[in-house]
Amino acid sequence: EDQVTQSPEALRLQEGESSSLNCSYTVSGLRGLFWYRQDPGKGPEFLFTLYSAGEEKEKERLKATLTKKESFLHITAPKPEDSATYLCAVQATTGANNLFFGTGTRLTVIP
């Protein structure tokens, strides 16, 4: 059964304090791993798709990396506006076309 576990559940950082969020996954065959950002009262906003181990993608202060068992979302010198819940999801090569989501990491960046 597909499984996505995100850690930590919540993270508080000082502005400028870099850190990483973890997404561990188990899937029969990985079609893609997705990162989303969700602000309160809003739907998730797409950030990245990663397809194969060793792949990296960057966007502003965010960098996502992928191994065969986990993905990391690295946040460099975060700002208060980076505060949000970050969701990880996987899509399997077999079966349904839907994404299977983790429960997210709630990030708070303190000025």
Partner 1 sequence: GAGVSQSPSNKVTEKGKDVELRCDPISGHTALYWYRQSLGQGLEFLIYFQGNSAPDKSGLPSDRFSAERTGGSVSTLTIQRTQQEDSAVYLCASSTFVGLGANYGYTFGSGTRLTVV
Residues forming contacts to partner 1 in the complex (CB under 8 A) are 4, 31, 34, 36, 41-47, 49, 51, 87, 89, 93, 96-104
**End-to-end CA distance of the chain, in Å?**
41
Query: Minimum distance from CB of 16 to partner 1 (Å)?
Result: 29
Nearer to partner 1, 3 or 67 (CB): 3
CB of 21 to partner 1, least distance (A): 15
Q: Which is nearer to partner 1, 81 or 96 (CB)?
A: 96
Q: Which is nearer to partner 1, 45 or 110 (CB)?
A: 45
Q: For the chain, list the strands marked E by DSSP.
A: 3-7, 10-14, 19-26, 30-38, 45-50, 56-59, 62-66, 70-75, 84-92, 100-101, 105-110
